[in-house]
Amino acid sequence: MDIWNADKLALFLIFFVPGFISIKIYDLLVPGETRDFSKSLLEAVSYSTLNFAALFWLIALIHGGNFYQQHFNLYYFSVFVIMVVAPACWPFVFLRLATWRRVAKHFVHPIQKPWDYVFGKHDPFWIIVHLKSGQKIGGRFGIESFASSNPADEQIYLEEVWELDDDGRFLEPVENSRGIIVMNDEIRAVEFFE
C-alpha cells in the first residue's frame, strides 16, 4: 500500500486536517491536559466529517457544473475556507453555545477548573491572596498580571502589590514594587473585589 499516492494523501488531508485544526484551536481556548494526538486520530476524523457535513452545500456548489473553470480563484478560496477557516471557527461557535444560558444547562461546562474560569475572563479586579501561613497579600490583577492555566500548577502574578490594614482593606501600593508571584503550594484561597 503506497501512502504517498496522491488520492490517499488527499483523503488523509481532507479527513484529518480540518479536525486537527479544530482540536488545536479548542485546546488553545480551553485549558486542559496536554493532548496526545496519536490517540486523537478518530476524534480528528470525526470533527472533519462534521465540518464537511455542515459545509456540504458549499462543497456541492463549488464542485457543480463548471465552477472550477469559471471561478478559479473563488474555488481555491472556498477550499481554504472549508479546510482551514471553518474548522478554526467551530471551537468558538461550540464554546459560545456551550456557555449560553439556554444551552449551558444541558452541557458540562468546558472549562474544568474555577481558577481557569475566573482568570480566563481577563477582567481586572482587586485580589487578596490568603496564604497557608495565615498571611494575606493584596494587589491589583490588571492587564499586565498573569495567572497560570491547566495543566500548569496554579500560580499568580500581581502587577501591583498593596498594603492591607487589619480588616483587609487596601491602603496604598507597596513602594518600588514591580509585582509579586505567588506559588500554588502557598495559596489557601483567593478573594476577588471590584
The candidate with the shortest Cα–Cα distance to 30, out of 110, 96, 118, 113, is 110
Residues 129, 161, single domain; the answer is: yes
At 2 the pLDDT is 59
- Tens-place pLDDT, residues 36-52: 777 888 889 899 999 99
Q: How would you class 165 by CB atoms within 10 Å of its CB: exposed for 0-12, middle for 13-18, buried for 19 or more?
A: exposed
Q: Decide if 182 contacts 137 (C-beta within 8 A).
A: yes
The 10 Å Cβ neighbour count of residue 176 is 5
Whether 1 maps to a domain, the answer reads: no
Cα separation, 136 vs 122, whole angstroms: 22
The 10 Å Cβ neighbour count of residue 89 is 15
At 191 the pLDDT is 93
Alpha-carbon distance values, 16 to 21, 22, 34, 55, 167 (Å): 9, 10, 19, 16, 57
Can you give the residue range of the structural domain that contains 59? Answer: 6-104
Longest dimension (CA), the chain: 78
- Tens-place pLDDT, residues 62-106: 888 888 888 889 999 999 999 999 999 999 998 888 878 887 777
- Tens-place pLDDT, residues 107-124: 777 778 888 889 888 899
Whether 65 maps to a domain, the answer reads: yes
Residues 176, 89, single domain; the answer is: no
Residues 71, 149, single domain; the answer is: no
Q: Decide if 128 contacts 157 (C-beta within 8 A).
A: no
Q: pLDDT-based confidence at 192, cuts 50/70/90?
A: very high
Cα separation, 84 vs 40, whole angstroms: 18
pTM of the model: 0.68
Residues 53, 71, single domain; the answer is: yes
Residues 99, 128, single domain; the answer is: no
- Tens-place pLDDT, residues 139-160: 999 999 999 988 888 999 999 9
What is the rounded radius of gyration, in angstroms, for the C-alpha atoms of the chain? 24
In the chain, the percentage of residues whose pLDDT exceeds 70 is 97
Structural domains in the chain (count) = 2
Residues 84, 120, single domain; the answer is: no
